[in-house]
Amino acid sequence: MTVPNGAFQPDHTAALENATDQRWSYQTTRQPVLKGTEGLSYDAPMSRWVPASHEVFSADGSDYAWTERNPSTTSNRLHLTKVADGSDKSWAVPPPNDPIFRGHGPMLPVPLAITPGGILLTYGWEGTYGVWRLDPASGLLAKVSGEPAARGYGAGALWLEPLRGSATVGAEQSGDTLARLDPASGAVEDWFRRDGTLVRYLGVDKDGDPWVVTWVYASQAFEIGIWRVSGPGHSDLILAGQQFSRTFSDGHGTWFGNDSGVYLFASGSVERVSSASVGEVLGPCIT
């Protein structure tokens, strides 16, 4: 597959500006106004750019979750916003009284996913602590797990980056492992581990297999790899020497983007479909 010929052009419908009434929040310039604090993604079912990561969209694309980040007033409010009209419902969800928060600084609720059972969230600022489920009908929180470093949701599971081995890979919660957390049972299973290596979750593909990027310092330089993990202890190195911060999967395969171009992984191989410097892929192919 190739992208159409020609230069990439800015999409003015993706423009964001600072929110007028919420510190550290952004809003769309297109009506109806949509607010958020995390990233930018294209919501294909609703044909709208949304100021949130695609992981926190509902399955049908009709809603997304986000958190106000205003420590002086409403830092603990979690929002569920309708993409069609910007209507909004929010809940005050301060950190529960739980031992895992002791000794840590301010804790903001961080949404991870909208599921049929409720909104999954964690708490943190730079690190994350535990996983909870918010019931939108009652506003009540239920603890799912006390595991640290929840990074995303995909294929019906939460994906964690715990540190299992050597602590030489970096700062607090810099993990060397990708672990799968079942939100129904709370069971955790390690899927990928490299001792002394920084492991970062990138997303899942259309088959439900997660992707990770690894960094290891060797010979006075970082060696970087992009891996597809097909099960516990089963992984394949797909690209070496390339760095990506996220993936996006659709019916064509898994998309990557960085300053060297746009890449598509499909049918077991990688193709560079464009040499344009794009940064990140923020949504599916819509052609």
What integer pLDDT is reported at residue 171 of this predicted model?
45
For 125-184, what is each residue's pLDDT tens digit? 767 889 999 999 999 999 999 998 999 999 999 999 998 876 554 445 578 999 999 999
List, in order, residues 6 or more apart from 280 with CB less than 8 Å away.
244, 245, 246, 257, 258
Residue with tokens 């079942």: 182
What is the rounded distance in angstroms from the CA atom of residue 107 to the CA atom of residue 126?
9
Q: What percent of the chain has pLDDT over 70?
A: 91
What integer pLDDT is reported at residue 75 of this predicted model?
64
List, in order, residues 6 or more apart from 287 with CB less than 8 Å away.
4
Q: What angle do CA 265, 208, 200 make, to 5 degrees?
A: 75
Residue 69 or 61, more confident:
61
List, in order, residues 6 or more apart from 128 with CB less than 8 Å away.
110, 122, 148, 149, 150, 151, 173
Three-class secondary structure of residue 127 per DSSP = coil
Residue 92 or 72, more confident:
92
Enter the tokens of residue 113: 């996913």
What integer pLDDT is reported at residue 79 of this predicted model?
95
What is the rounded distance in angstroms from the CA atom of residue 18 to the CA atom of residue 87?
19
For 213-249, what is each residue's pLDDT tens digit? 999 877 767 889 999 999 999 999 999 988 888 899 9
Residue with tokens 């993604």: 41
Q: What percent of the chain has pLDDT over 90?
A: 61
**In this model, does residue 47 exceed pLDDT 90?**
yes
- Which residues, listed in sequence order, are joined to residue 128 by a DSSP beta bridge? 124
CB 227 within 8 A of CB 205: no
Question: Could you say which DSSP state residue 74 is in?
Answer: T
HEC secondary structure over 211-272: EEEEEEEECCEEEEEEEEEEECCEEEEEEECCCCCCCEEECCEEEEEECCEEEEEECCEEEE
What integer pLDDT is reported at residue 39 of this predicted model?
86
Mean pLDDT of 108-122: 94
Give the closest residue to 281 by CA, choosing from 264, 59, 270: 264
| Long-range contacts formed by 21-24: CB under 8 A, 24+ apart | 22/68, 22/69, 22/70, 22/74, 23/69, 23/70, 23/72, 24/69, 24/70
Predicted confidence band of residue 6 (pLDDT cuts 50, 70, 90): low
**In this model, does residue 194 exceed pLDDT 80?**
yes
